[in-house]
Every structure is written in C-alpha cells, then in structure tokens.
Amino acid sequence: MICILDYGAGNLKSVVNAFRFIGAEVEVTHNAARLIQSQAVVLPGVGSFGDAAASLEQSGLRQPLLDFIASGRPFLGVCLGMQLLFDESEESPGVKGLSVFPGKIRRIPEGNGLKIPHIGWNSLTIEQPNGLFAGVTEQSYVYFVHSFYLQSPKREIVSSHTQYGVTIDSSVQHENIYATQFHPEKSGQAGLQMLKNFAKITQIGQRRKVGY
C-alpha cells in the first residue's frame, strides 16, 4: 500500500488518480500511526513553503514523516514535497524545512523574457538513469508549476536537471528517497513510467521485508 499524505497542502486528487490508473494500491491519510505503518509514502504539495511546513507541524506529521524516511522505506516527494526535504526556502525566510538534505530553495530569477512562475513543459537531462528514471527516455518532457527551484550543494543526489533561465535540479534520489520538482502525475507517459517505477520499488521493498 502506498500512502499519500494529506497534510492540507497537497494536490491529492491528480496524484491518487495517476497511481490508480497504473494499477497501484493507494490510500490517502492524515493519520500519523497509519503513516508509520505504510509500505511507501508520497508527499505531494502545492502552495507556499512556509504554509506547507506549518501544516506538517500543526498536523503532528512532521516527526512521523521524518521517522518514516529514516526507516529506509520508499518515499516520493512531488513539487513542494521535494522542496520541503531541504533546509529552507527564499519563499519563506526563517521557516525550517525537513532538512533531510542540506540546501536552500531559491527564487527563479526574472529576465530573458521568461515568465514566473514557470508553468509548462520542459525537457529533462537525466543524470541517474535508474530508480525513478528506469525506462524513461533522455530529454523527455515533463510538466512544471513553480517559482522556486533547487540547486543542490550535494551533487550526488541530483537525478535530473532542466533549463529555465538557470539550471534547475529537477529531481533527486538517494537510497530510499525520490523527489521531483515537476509533476509526474501530469507528465504523460514519461510521468506514468516514473510512478510505475516507484510502485515497483515499493513492491520490491515489501517482498524483501517478508523474506521472499
């Protein structure tokens, strides 16, 4: 079972529908105990960094989520759900992220005729053609909606990047942690392949757990 976390800042419907479309079993929950028991967790997110961080804290889900990630079971962050993995964001000065990875989320600079927020399709340069990107074609187009972006100081976790005035680290993966700045649930066949890969990773992890 893949748990999609409802903490008051998520684009839940499209994520749920996409996982169900590929035949994955999913459950939406805001219950900390259910979160801890899950095989895998998806953290979606729309809105501001500060509001999302506050929602996690106020709902009592911040520490259970960190405990789940530390357990080694598969985790997927989507859009704001990726940004929250880092220390802080220029969007919400003084607000602490989850600090799973070091780094600061920065505002996409204006200029060069580019519109902010960045809304639309951009191609990916894939740096880790495994995990979430197994079977995904290089330069696949995916769908973005954001005004803030990651340039990670920890380069080994970056699994893809894209260009939009600056180089945007568009996804990360490290051990059990997978996250995308773009929306795989809105990214056509490439995005569905990524969700299939995450579901497969979840199934493999469960088989290992029960000793298959």
Residues with active-site annotation = 79, 183, 185
Task: Return the structure tokens found at 43.
Answer: 């953290």
DSSP 8-class letter at 109: P
Q: What's the half-sphere exposure (Cβ side, CA atoms, 13 Å) at 201?
A: 24
Q: Tell me, what amino acid is at 208?
A: R
Q: Do residues 113 and 164 lie in contact, with contact meaning Cβ atoms separated by under 8 Å?
A: no
Q: Do residues 187 and 79 lie in contact, with contact meaning Cβ atoms separated by under 8 Å?
A: no
Q: For residue 68, what are the contacts with CB-CB under 8 A and spacing of at least 6? A: 35, 36, 38, 41, 75
Reference 89, options 151, 31, 131, 15; nearest CA is 151
Q: Do residues 181 and 84 lie in contact, with contact meaning Cβ atoms separated by under 8 Å?
A: no
Which residues lie across from 27 on neighbouring strands?
A: 3
Residue 139 to residue 55: CA distance in whole angstroms: 35
Q: What are phi and psi of 81, to 5 degrees?
A: -65, -25
